[in-house]
Chains A and B, each alone.
Chain A
Amino acid sequence: MTLSLTLLMALPLFGAAVLSALPKTNALLAKQVALGTTLVSAAVTIGIAVQFQRDNIDLQFVESHQWIPSFGINYAVGLDGISLVLILMTAVLAPIVVLAGWNESQSGRWSTKTFYILILVLEMMAIGVFAATDVFLFYVFFEAMLVPVYFLIGGYGTGKRSAAAVKFLLYSLFGGLLMLASIIALYVLSGEQGGHTFDTQALSHLHMSSMTQNLLFLGFFIAFAIKAPLWPFHTWLPDAADAATPGTSVLLLGVLDKVGTFGMIRYCLTLFPNATKTFTPTIIVLAVISIIYGAFLAIGQKDIKRLIAFTSISHFGFITLGIFAMTSQGHSGATLYMFNHGFSTAALFLVAGWMSSRRGSSTIADFGGLQRVTPVMAWSFFFAGMSSLALPGLSSFVSEFLVLVGTFTRYPVAAVIATFGIVLAALYILIPVQRALHGPTTPGNENLSDLTLREKIAITPVIAIILFLGFYPSPLLKVINPAATHVISQLGFSDPAPTQLGGK
């Protein structure tokens, strides 16, 4: 059987179908099915990644079937380096999330099987959204994705879950509808210029007045900025991350939010090159603000989950910065950053989730001296933290530094300000580390249990990947670089030459 993206999307859907056929009562079976499905799709994805030809900048694994011909809408999917990396991340994270969140569904309003159906549907849509090469198809996944997440947060979360879910959904829908307006405009324009189409390639050749282009760009960008989330569109994220179960949070911050930054690359940049140039300065500013702002707020948080959420806002600032720096380093760095952030956030959220589920609270102040009580858990958290503050030798360092260098060559000031983020990062990681892991063991923590075997198995691959890519990121970079450079050159940018050597 030849590997195809359709197959890859069909797998989780099939799994979901199987699950829905299962009896409600047998939770364990549901979990096993979910785990099996995600593992298989992970394997398939890896297979695809292996078959992927690195230095071929054309889309690969392309499929295209008519969907709604009268609107020129196709079911069209394909891979370039960037989407491949993100799909890889999604597919690898999924089984980890399932395994790590083995008992998450218990606190939910509904049965375990429903939980995993939602997870699988979400995985399928996430893959679809990264693979789509038809704007309409992308939009369909982009919006439809919200529904499973909405129910995951509202149905299985904790605390103010429904409020958080609604906030998340409304925010995203608002952005989505702006984007819809832009998409309609694109559709009409394409109709005026030789045939309705939603093919990304074709649309990128449309002629439009700079005014139109700017407006349409904004329509897309705001949607993505809300997803990513970029300051000041971020306020839904902490609530959502706080309310959602750890597993959901991982999918939310690790995968779903990447759609925002991915969309910026795939749609904002390629469809509206001129508008991109117009808005780049503004966006750079927003990105820098996000970096610093998110970091400061993370420092100010009392709740571990909210803290992690804000660190992500800071990190998404870095990603956006890298994307709009318009240098190959910045761009590759940003994409690599998306991948790495997926795993370091996963590590943070999963461990934080285990901590709070054991302690029955996610308030940092409630913890203390865990390093003595639960060394393995404490170590995992510390490691995750180190990767989040981009310690050299861990994956996120490579991406973060690439972003910074790439930005510096074109926007030195922005890069300099952003670099202060790494000091703040040290603060927002070490403060919780000290409060929760160090110091005397505070009452209520004396007999927390350490990680179970299942949890260890779940966290090990994450740590392994973070460590491995820290020392040897080339496999990914080799895939990303061609795509990234392609995007840059499409926009007519090339890396600035060293100032002192007259480009020699």
Chain B
Amino acid sequence: MKFTTPVLDYAILSPILIVLAGALIGVMIEAFLSKTRRPIVQLILTLGTLLIALVQVFRIRNTTSLSAAMGSVIFDGPAFLLQMTILIISIISIFLIADNENFTALAAALPGSIEEQEATCKGNQVTEVYPLTLFAVAGMLLFPIASDLITLFVALEMLSLPLYLMAGLSRRRRLMSQEAALKYFLLGAFSSAFFLFGAAYLYGYSGLISFAGIRESIVGGTGNDVFLLIGIAFLSVGLLFKVGAVPFHAWSPDVYQGAPTAVTAFMAAATKVAAFGAMLRIYYTVFANAQWSWSPLLSVIAIITMLFGSFVAIAQRDVKRMLAYSSIAHAGFLITGVIALNKAGLSASIFYLFAYGIATVGAFAIVTLVRDSAGEVSDLNRWAGLGKRSPWVATIFAFFLLAFAGIPLTSGFIGKFSIFSAAYESGAKSVVIAGVLSSAIAAFFYIRVIVLMFFTDSHEDATTVVIPSVLTRITVIVSFVITVALGVYPAPLIDFINKFAIFIR
């Protein structure tokens, strides 16, 4: 038998390769540089890597290829947009991650142990987060462009494993943080098992692991539908878990709350983009012709997710949990974009992912600022009267909330409108109605927070808002500006997205 030497389209893979390289260098630095010098170097390295990757992605925006890396990677307009989004979000969240308040000094040390205190006094930092982040980013970049089952699975794990670890690195309330890591890990592994099993059956159905092949056999209708259906179902479990759709959502509130806020921000924003990117590609290209089988189910799941998310969020007492549930609700909104299964739906989803991701990072960035002597305070009741003590922070946070609620003149509104109209266009009226309804419910709790911040007088154990470090400030301001801009004049971005949002098959 003869071997064909693999042909790799390095131009297309370059962003991922760059990020991976950066990550590896980062590991080296961990090994060889002194503790004191690491933080700054790592930060510069990471930022640099991401920026270069960003530039690279932008440079290859017009190249499309079905067969980069022997057909296991596909690159096209949506891929470009999603990678851009992921990189931009990562960059602004890196600033947050760099704010050392967030991470434990010594992950290995027992909570409350002497060595921990020593490490803290020394001002040590777990600079490992930088390479970890980069690995995750690499995974995320790969996830939406993977075009066969292996790559898809590998990418999934690649983006998940670092996140499992990062979830456990919180500086304060470490028990919770570790618990979050455990839960995230176990459930993540559990769901990826489903994912893999599904993949197996898809392979069984078509005999091929490449998306193109699977798609062919679906179109051709050859093969055993039972395998196909099991495959679709289990694969969906894995994907829906990642995006946090009901009933696969249960991890997200706990992890969002337990993980260091910076990580939560990164995870909430970037993972959603990657996961939905993959979802969009798979459902729009691979499963498109099997729509009859999954579309109704996804509709139901979307409805349940939207309503459940918005509903339970009402009862939350903790900002991060509240945002977690709101993110569940938004996952529901995004699934409507998947159901739409038309060009409008694709562009709308991408726009939504971008807008939502940015706003999320911004919102969590604000959360990191509200602290008391014992660090971050996410208990909502203690946010009371924030508007009086630090109007600017409160106003910006309120603005993000309004964006989540989809009030006009915020990016959220444009997103909602476009995604709903796309879904409506494809005839998913019931989903749109449910979406509108749940936005009404959602408004309820966003407003509750605003009331709390502005119209409630603070208790004696009032929280203080730390003066944001330059880095955090950048995060906040950038995301704020983008959210406003997209609300007032979204036309350029929308047109840009429309230009690129076509899957090639």
Contact = CB atoms under 8 A, between A and B. Distances in A.
Direct contact of A and B (CB under 8 A): yes
Interface of A: 66-71, 109-110, 139-141, 143-144, 146-147, 151, 154-155, 161-162, 165-166, 169-170, 173-174, 177-178, 180-181, 184-185, 187-188, 191
Interface in B464-505: 489-491, 494-495, 498
Contact of B421 (A161, A166, A170, A188): A188
A170 B402 contact: no
Nearest to A174: B440
B455 A173 contact: no
Contacts of B433: 181
B420 A184 contact: yes
Interface stretch (B15-23, B76-84, B443-451): B443-451
Nearest to B439: A177
A109 B455 contact: yes
A154 B424 contact: no
B421 A109 contact: no
Given A71-B418, A155-B455, A181-B433, A109 B498 contact: no
Nearest to B499: A70
B408 A184 contact: no
A68 B490 contact: yes
Contacts of B414: 68
Given A184-B417, A188-B424, A147 B402 contact: yes
B436 A162 contact: no
25 contacts: A67-B489, A68-B491, A69-B491, A109-B455, A140-B413, A144-B408, A146-B407, A154-B454, A154-B455, A162-B451, A165-B451, A166-B448, A166-B451, A169-B447, A170-B440, A177-B436, A177-B440, A181-B432, A181-B433, A181-B436, A184-B417, A184-B421, A184-B424, A184-B432, A187-B421
Contact of A170 (B425, B444, B494, B498): B444
A289 B420 CA distance: 36
Contacts of A68: 414, 490-491, 494
Interface string B115-155: 00000000000000000000000000000000000000000
A152 to B, nearest CB: 12
A155 B394 CA distance: 14
Contacts of A185: 424
Given A143-B408, A170-B447, A184-B432, A69 B495 contact: yes
A147 to B, nearest CB: 7
Nearest to A180: B436
The 10 A-B residue pairs whose C-beta atoms are closest, nearest first, are: A162-B455, A140-B408, A143-B408, A184-B421, A181-B436, A154-B455, A177-B436, A68-B491, A173-B443, A144-B408
Contacts of A177: 436-437, 439-440, 443
A137 to B, nearest CB: 10
Given A70-B494, A166-B447, A109 B409 contact: no
B491 A67 contact: yes
Interface string B405-436: 10111000110111011001100000011001
Nearest to B497: A70
The listed residue with most B CB atoms (<10 A of its CB), out of A139, A169, A180, A181, is A180
Contact of B456 (A143, A144, A162, A170): A162
B330 to A, nearest CB: 16
Contacts, number: 86
Given A71-B418, A161-B455, A188 B425 contact: yes
Contacts of A151: 454
A154 B418 contact: no
Interface residues of B, number: 37
Given A70-B495, A109-B455, A178 B443 contact: no
Contacts of B494: 68, 70-71
A375 B143 CA distance: 78
B313 to A, nearest CB: 15
Nearest to B405: A173
Interface string B359-400: 000000000000000000000000000011001000000000
A471 to B, nearest CB: 42
B436 A165 contact: no
B434 to A, nearest CB: 10
Contacts of A141: 408
A173 B421 contact: no
Nearest to B410: A144
Nearest to A139: B408
B451 A173 contact: no
Nearest to B437: A177
Nearest to B420: A184
Contacts of B402: 147
B135 to A, nearest CB: 37
A66 B489 CA distance: 11
Nearest to B427: A188
Given A173-B405, A181-B433, 8 more contacts: A67-B489, A109-B387, A109-B454, A140-B409, A143-B408, A166-B447, A166-B451, A184-B421
A178 B421 contact: no
Nearest to B444: A170
Contacts of B387: 109
Given A68-B490, A69-B495, A185-B424, A180 B455 contact: no
B498 A70 contact: yes
B491 A70 contact: yes
Contacts of A155: 454-455
Contacts of B421: 71, 184, 187-188
Contacts of A180: 416-417, 420, 436
Contact of A66 (B388, B418, B491): B491
A140 B412 CA distance: 13
Contacts of B448: 166
A147 B407 contact: yes
Contact of A154 (B391, B437, B451): B451
Contacts of B436: 177-178, 180-181
Contacts of A154: 451, 454-455
B267 to A, nearest CB: 30
Nearest to A192: B425
B370 to A, nearest CB: 19
A110 B392 CA distance: 13
Nearest to A136: B417
A147 B409 CA distance: 11
A344 B448 CA distance: 35
A200 B130 CA distance: 53
B262 to A, nearest CB: 30
B342 to A, nearest CB: 11
Contacts of B498: 70
Nearest to B438: A177
Contacts of B489: 67
Nearest to A172: B443
Contacts of B391: 110
B432 A173 contact: no
A361 B456 CA distance: 23
Contacts of B495: 69-70
Contacts of B490: 68
